[in-house]
Structure 1
């Protein structure tokens, strides 16, 4: 049995669906019962658990042999650094006595030590906490999620693509389905083949490329609308971010814009940006 956390987000569902399509037994961990029926219809077992309740989560993990771990994002109105350290600490605590033989954890390109760097330092700390416990761990460091552009659809329909990143900056990006396929493969690898794996899409893309993909899918011009660097923190605050969360996300954006991500031999998915945006527009 494979246990999958994060089944109501983007990557967790892709992991679970990939495993189910391969005929594997899966239990998805949900925060609320209201999503359970849909997963059971797909052939999964379900469990309701809170990552802040290590005892309850441990009871769910004991149902399986291997687990996909994903630290949930905190509400941006909170101090996200504090909240996300609490949630991953709950996940790590639940591993003790779980009986799992292996876990795969979702992390990010650019994971690094520090403070107030958003996901970059939080997920690095998650990696370190997992490495300090005895269950073998594979870390999947994901490129910039193509799904981060989902929220731009309505503005793209009006002809603009808001972005804080330079319009021509090429970034490694990846579709959630490719992350799900990769994680499912890592989960099924023999114990002893753990390590850090980087996963990105078939090519690198800029915000200008994203605007062009929206333009093609929508059949109308779409232009990048770049927020100047000195307005980033205020822009996050205007979106409802708390003061500490805005500072953390601003620093994460700076590091993303300034860092050349060039891992050796990353695993490459097959979904192109154009395919992802076309499907997003179709669904929307």
Structure 2
């Protein structure tokens, strides 16, 4: 039995579906049953649990042999670091001492120790705390999600996208479904397949490349405009982030830009930037 957290999300849903398609037994853990029908029809057992409920989560993990661990994002209008560190600690406590055959932690490029640097520090803490559970642990660190580009579509329709990254800086990016496929594969490998592996798309892309991809999909010119570093926190606040979350995300952006992690031999997915952007534009016809 495989236990999959976040089974209705962009990544977890692909993990669960791929495992089910291969004939494995899966318990799909989710917050509500709104999107459960598809997985249930394919044979998944459904567990509706808030990851903050450690005893309930622990009881579900007891059913399993291997587990996919994903820490859910917190609402951006709260202290995201505090909330995500709380849920990460709950998940780690839930697997502590259960003797699971293998766990796979979904993490991020650039994960590092630190104070309030968004996903970079939260997911480093997640890796570290799950690692103390004593179960064999694999870690997949994913690149910058293509889904982060969804918010740029309205601006692209008007001819401009904005970014906090230098527009010509090539960075690792990936489609979440490629992350899900990579996680499903790794969950089924041998117990010696542990440690950190990096997962990104077929190429590295800049925001100038993203502007070109939008231009190709929309049929008109699109340019990338840089948000100055001094304005990053204000920009995040304008998107609805709380003051503490805006500060953490600005620090995370700075850490990423200043110390961009570029692994030499990542696992590569198949979905290109242009494919993702074209499908995004096609799915949201104005």
TM-score range, shorter chain: over 0.9
Against the structure 1 CA distance between its residues 160 and 8, is the aligned structure 2 distance closer, same or farther, given a 3 Å change threshold? farther
What is the Cα-based RMSD across aligned positions, in Å? 1.4
* Structure 1 segment 123-272 matched on structure 2, within 5 A: 123-272=123-272
* Partners of 2:109 and 2:198 within 8 A in 1: yes
Shift of 1:97: 5.0
CA separation in 2, counterparts of 1:242 and 1:199?
30
Where does residue 46 of structure 1 map in the other structure? 46
Q: Tell me which residue corresponds to 1:279.
A: 279
1:1-12 matches, within 5 Å, as 1-12=1-12
Deviations 1:177-198 (A, max 9, x none): 1111111111001112211101
Contact 2:17–2:39 (CA under 8 A) maintained in structure 1: no
Q: Residue by residue, what CA displacement relative to the aligned partner does 1:215-234 show, whole Å, maximum 9, x if unpaired?
A: 11121221112211111001
CA distance in 1, matches of 2:226, 2:7: 33
Distance 1:156 1:25 in 2: 43
Contact 1:104 1:138 in 2 (8 A): yes
What TM-score results when the alignment is normalised by the length of structure 2?
0.95
Q: For the residues of structure 2 that align with 1:260 and 1:81, how far apart are their CA atoms?
A: 21
Cα distance in 2, alignment partners of residues 19 and 157 from structure 1: 38
Measure, in 2, the Cα distance between the counterparts of 1:262 and 1:36.
Answer: 37
Q: Which runs of 5+ in 2 are unaligned?
A: none
Which SS does the other structure have where 2:76 is aligned? coil
Q: Is the 8 A contact 1:27 1:46 kept in 2?
A: yes
Provide closer, same or farther for how the CA distance between residues 94 and 184 of structure 1 changes in structure 2, counting only shifts above 3 A.
Answer: same
Q: Residue by residue, what CA displacement relative to the aligned partner does 1:133-158 show, whole Å, maximum 9, x if unpaired?
A: 21111010111111111122222222
Q: Which residue of 2 aligns with 1:62?
A: 62
* 1:70-89 pair list within 5 angstroms: 70-89=70-89
Change (3 A) 1:20 1:220: farther
* CA-to-aligned-CA distance 1:24-70 (integer Å, 9 cap, x gap): 22221110122222321343221101111111011111222111100
Kept in 1: contact 2:3–2:64 (CA 8 A): yes
Contact 2:110/2:260 (CA < 8 Å) preserved in 1? Answer: no
Q: Is the 8 A contact 1:143 1:199 kept in 2?
A: yes
Q: Is the 8 A contact 2:26 2:44 kept in 1?
A: yes
Q: Secondary structure at the match of 2:241?
A: coil
Q: Secondary structure at 1:138's aligned position in 2?
A: strand
Runs of at least 4 residues off by over 6 Å: none
* Cα distance in 1 between the residues matched to 2:255 and 2:218: 31
CA distance in 1: counterparts of 2:229 and 2:237, whole angstroms: 14
Is the 8 Å Cα contact of residues 146 and 273 (structure 2) preserved in structure 1?
yes
Structure 1 residue 99 displacement after superposition: 4.7
Pairwise CA distance, 1:10? 1.4
Whole-Å separation in 2 of the counterparts to 1:137 and 1:207: 34
Q: Give the secondary-structure state (helix, strand or coil) at the position aligned to 1:34.
A: coil
